[in-house]
Amino acid sequence: MLLITIMLINATQLTAAQNSSETSLPNWVKKNAKWWSEGAVQDKDFVQGIQYLIQKGIVKIPPTQSSDEQSDQKIPQWIKNNAGWWADGKISDGDFVSGIQYLISKGIMKVSPPPKAAKPPPSGY
């Protein structure tokens, strides 16, 4: 829960200008990834935090086909290693996102798409 609280606090500090590319990761997420890779954050808390950030559109990843079944699989160690390396600047955002996509594709992480922005009403109303 602490991780989610930290992510929520940091999310409120984001500026309105977001990167419009398919991958967007706020720099502060790296701190959380580092804590997770070091075992200071439990797997379920990290996954819930990333799920929340994706669903709210704070973290953007390319569309990913997900498994329809809930998986009981554990998060592979290489994913945690990647998180630590990404936090240390040793691998790219794309490499880290590939790990997140792997979790989604295997049903380890379930993510609903972020809500679409509401269209303004036509002029004259």
What's the mean per-residue pLDDT of the chain?
A: 77
pLDDT of residue 91: 95
Q: Which residues of 112-122 are buried (b: 16+ CB within 10 A; e: fewer)?
A: eeeeeeeeeee
52-87: pLDDT as tens digits? 888 888 888 888 777 666 667 789 999 999 999 999
Indicate whether 16 pLDDT > 50. Answer: no
How crowded is residue 75: how many other Cβ atoms within 10 Å of its Cβ? Answer: 19
User: What is the Cα–Cα distance from 9 to 30, expressed in whole angstroms?
Assistant: 15
pLDDT of residue 54: 87
pLDDT of residue 120: 61
User: What is the Cα–Cα distance from 102 to 65, expressed in whole angstroms?
Assistant: 10
Confidence tier at 8 by pLDDT (50, 70, 90): very low
pLDDT of residue 65: 77
User: What is the Cα–Cα distance from 32 to 46, expressed in whole angstroms?
Assistant: 8
